Amino acid sequence: MAIVRSVSPLRRRGAIAARLCAGAAFLALLAACSPNPANTAPRAFVAPPVAMAEPGPQVEGQVNMVVWAGYAEKAWTDAFTKATGCKVNASVAGSSDEMVADVKSGEYDVVSASGDASLRLIASGDVAPVDVSKVPSYAQIYPDLKNQRWNAVDGVPYGIPHGRGANVMVYNKDKITTPPTSLGAIFNPDPAAAGHVTVYNSPISIADAALYLMHQRPDLNIKNPYALDQTQFDAAIELLTKLQPAVSRYWADAQTQQLDLEKGTDLVGISWQVVLNNLGRDGYKQIASVKPVEGLTGWSDTWMIAAGAKNPTCAYKWLDYISSPAVNAQAAEFFGEAPANSQACAKTTDPKFCAEYHADDPVYWKDVWYWTTPTARCLDGSSRLCVPYADWVTAWTRITQK
């Protein structure tokens, strides 16, 4: 079974104070990016003046990283150390909020940030622009993962894409006999599914409700599920509040969700492809997935270098190594995600792997909305006021703690 995004309760508890500090800093950041008069549009986002990270003339002997579980396994870190002389010291984060807090500590050189964290790190000045000319593997990265809102600002890259995945809609075929075609199966569930809906426990999940409303409520004029004005945001929160009694669990640990799907506690909801694949391999063929007519949300992770990294040479060597075809294939296959390197699919041990994860299927990704941190300046390019991420956090907390 692949190792997925989970971490021990002990580490979660140990990061609470740091996360609170990170949240306070981000609230201040949002205020700085907000409009001056109360009813005028905020200024366009401008990244703070952080110098580009540059490698030095020699390796430092180590690189300190905060990563998702499964991103820095011994199987490939040992080979990296042997080839470069850079020892890998990796710490696993259990959430994007933990990851942001850890980077703010100043103890790390590299972070594997998802799109709901990367823009926060850029905006707070905690990560630096990356000189992609010093990362030869960058030329092989799929074009639709480069220079995106979550990993670049004004065409300046802030990291190297690692992989991607869609937040797939899953359902139990034995209990829900009519295959669902819409996210309405989650947000307006069949009575048979009441109390058995599974939802990912993160404020960024508000975007799933917004994506449904984008198609079901054209009067709201939603153009981007991460760019919601107050009326649009309130509609999404109302939908999620109504859904709350039907939810069996707001899951954060994919292994726990997998067990709930196996037991029949969960009948329909949002999951990851790796969970679906694990269920199939374990004989739970009744759990199926479908791509709804509205499309899906998803995630793309980026290797970023901390501003003021103490080991920038080893950091650059790691970015090139982990994004190279063979290693990117190994890491993606171990974790359960589509690799970012366009040549990685030829290196996977399972010849069907990339087909399962749609790695070479650009059409599949066209209506996948990758996690991107909501900002006061609407991400859809308009001059409208949008609800910033801090307010998403507050609203999500109210919904899930009822």
The answer on 208 and 343 residing in a single domain is no
Judge whether 370 lies within some domain: no
d(CA 168, CA 185): 13
Report pLDDT for 280.
87
Domain assignment present for residue 177? The answer is yes
Q: Alpha-carbon distance 155 to 292, whole Å?
A: 32
143's tokens = 């074009």
Q: For the domain that residue 346 is a member of, what is the CATH number?
A: 3.40.190.10
Residues 284 and 212 reside in one and the same domain: yes
Residue 103 lies in a domain: yes
Answer for the pair 253, 6: CB distance below 8 angstroms, yes or no.
yes
- 139 with 174, same domain: the answer is no
To the nearest 10 degrees (0 to 180), the angle between helices 16-33 and 389-400 is 130
DSSP collapsed to 3 states, 292-341? CCCCEEEEEEEEEEECCCCCHHHHHHHHHHHCCHHHHHHHHHHHCCEECE
In this structure, are 69 and 207 located in the same domain? no
Torsion over CA: 320, 326, 329, 330 (sign): negative
d(CA 329, CA 116): 24
State how many domains the chain has: 2
Q: Are 247 and 395 in a shared domain? A: yes
Residues 196, 344: one domain?
no
Q: What is the pLDDT of residue 32?
A: 36
**How many Å apart are CA 253 and CA 275, to the nearest integer?**
11
Is residue 163 within 8 A of residue 67, CB to CB? The reply is: no
Query: What is the model's pLDDT at position 42?
Result: 55
Which among 25, 43, 11, 374 has a CA at the least distance from the CA of 203?
374
Listed residue (23, 20, 16) closest to 388, CA to CA: 23
Note whether 27 and 142 are same-domain residues. Answer: yes
Question: How many beta carbons lie within 10 A of that of residue 8, not counting itself?
Answer: 10
In terms of domains, do 209 and 319 share one? no
Q: Are residues 133 and 199 in the same domain?
A: no
* CA dist., res. 82 & res. 94, Å (int): 28
Residue 88, CB half-sphere, CA atoms under 13 Å: how many? 28
Rounded to whole angstroms, the Cα distance separating 235 from 228 reads 10
Q: Is 258 exposed, middle or buried (0-12, 13-18, 19+ CB in 10 A)?
A: buried
Model pTM score: 0.84
User: Cα dihedral sign for 65, 12, 114, 287?
Assistant: positive
Q: CB neighbours of 367 closer than 8 A, spacing ≥ 6?
A: 294, 295, 296
* Residue 270 and residue 183 share a domain: yes
- The C-alpha atoms of residue 333 and residue 69 are separated, in whole angstroms, by 13
DSSP bridge partners of 127:
306
> Does one domain contain both 36 and 139?
yes
CA atoms within 13 A on the CB side of 259: 6
Predicted pLDDT at 20: 33
- Summarize pLDDT for 225-249 with one digit per residue, the tens: 999 999 999 999 999 999 999 999 9
Q: Which residue in 241, 244, 230, 236 sits closest to 214, CA to CA?
A: 236
Among 144, 156, 170, smallest CA distance to 285 is for 170
Question: Could you tell me if 231 and 280 lie in one domain?
Answer: yes
In tens digits, the chain (402 residues) has pLDDT values of: 222 333 332 232 233 333 333 343 444 344 334 333 344 445 567 889 999 999 998 999 999 999 998 899 999 999 999 999 999 999 999 888 899 999 999 999 999 999 889 989 999 999 999 999 999 999 999 999 999 989 999 999 999 999 999 999 999 999 998 899 999 999 999 888 989 999 999 999 999 999 999 999 999 999 999 999 999 999 999 999 999 999 999 998 888 999 999 999 999 999 998 898 889 889 999 999 999 999 999 999 999 999 999 999 999 999 999 999 999 999 999 988 999 999 999 999 999 999 999 999 999 999 999 999 898 988 877 778 999 999 999 999 999 986
For residue 292, what are the domain limits? 165-298+385-400
Tokens 């809102």 sit on residue: 149
